[in-house]
Amino acid sequence: MADIKEKIIFSKQQLQLIATKKNCSSFSYKDWGDDSLLDLRCYIRNYYRNLQKGECAFCKKDLSIVAVGNAHVEHIVPKSIYPQFIFEPKNLCVICADCNQIKRDQEINKNTTNTLKKEFIKYPRSSKSFLIVHPHFDVWHNHLEKFNGFFISKDDHKERKGSFTIYACGLNRKFSKFGYEKEIYSDNDLMEAARKLIESDDIITRFNALTNLKNIINN
């Protein structure tokens, strides 16, 4: 079972609005923020915010429960690359303001990260088609782990979804900006990092564990 178990279902009226937008030759992904889509965006936000239990789909941090400022509708396959999936229910979720800003900056700078392995005419129906941890197809905790605020991938040799998500959403942004804080570590942290380094067969997990250990010791 994936993190999001039920996709959003649009009303007849909403489907009519979507059809009108899709049939309009001048409609582009840049029109997503238009006033005419305000109610639809609000409906999507509230639906997925409830279903995701108020957690960001990528970093799992808390979303705003009432306000719109820290709960943004996200297109998992970027709308700038695949505008045909802009209203696809399985392409939608909600994310926090920081994850959204990172994705938005990429879009503005025309540096959007493609999350699909290859082009599809219809929206893919399998986890394997996506590079990113996809909340409608994947279980976040199977691919990622949070260790003292630091995100670590649980990738095996076949898949790189965890590492890709850390990279695409800049999940370790706090550490790249502020570095490590000495007080967040304890002996338990040291032992846990050492255990991961010794026990894991995965090179990325081992590398992350080694980096953690170095930081704990140097602090």
Which residues here bind Zn ion, judged by CB under 5 A?
56, 58-59, 95-96, 99
Cβ distance to Zn ion smaller for residue 58 or 180: 58
| Shortest Å, Cβ 2 to Zn ion | 18
Q: What is the largest CA-CA distance in the chain?
A: 61
| Shortest Å, Cβ 49 to Zn ion | 13
Reading the block at residue 42, the tokens are: 């609000």
d(CA 44, CA 69): 15
Cβ distance to Zn ion smaller for residue 8 or 99: 99
Contact between 112 and 106 (Cβ < 8 Å): yes
| Shortest Å, Cβ 93 to Zn ion | 11
| Shortest Å, Cβ 61 to Zn ion | 5
Cβ distance to Zn ion smaller for residue 60 or 206: 60
d(CA 160, CA 148): 22
d(CA 44, CA 50): 10
